[in-house]
Amino acid sequence: MKAVNAILKQKSSHVFSVNSTISVFDALTEMMEKNISALLVVDDGRLTGIFTERDYARKIALKGRSSKETAIADVMTKDPLTITLNDDLDFCMNLMTDKHIRHLPVIDNGRVVAMISIGDLVKAIIETQKDTIKQLEGYINS
């Protein structure tokens, strides 16, 4: 099975992050401008959390809080689960499924280098399955 670093070769290497002191409104604006559904929260070069659309829906919208007056630090998911470049895709998929999460920050030598989504994993797994099917068809037809 492929490792995380194989996915990252197909993806942009840019990591979108914000500081924990910004408002939820500003984070949502950033997410809208970048067309993303999650932002990493990094303070002093260290990953401290992740903020997702799910966090907004559950911790702001449904609780009647103000996104302009609430800091990301108050509603982010603190100390998110992380993966490494060498973790295999099955491990990542199982982690996301078991923990009901859609994004995993990728850490290398103590720093965030990327983030993968459930969509990235599904796409990579489908490609692997297509390759396997081609190999089997070749074997059968030879």
pLDDT per residue over 35-86, tens digit each? 999 999 999 989 999 999 999 999 999 999 999 999 999 999 999 999 999 9
**pLDDT at 40 (0 to 100):** 97
| Domains of the chain with bracketed CATH | 4-141 (3.10.580.10)
* pTM summary value: 0.86
How many residues does the structure list for the chain? 142
Q: How much of the chain exceeds pLDDT 70, in percent?
A: 99
Q: Which of 44, 46, 63 is nearest to 55 (CA)?
A: 63
d(CA 59, CA 13): 30
**pLDDT at 2 (0 to 100):** 86
d(CA 102, CA 131): 25
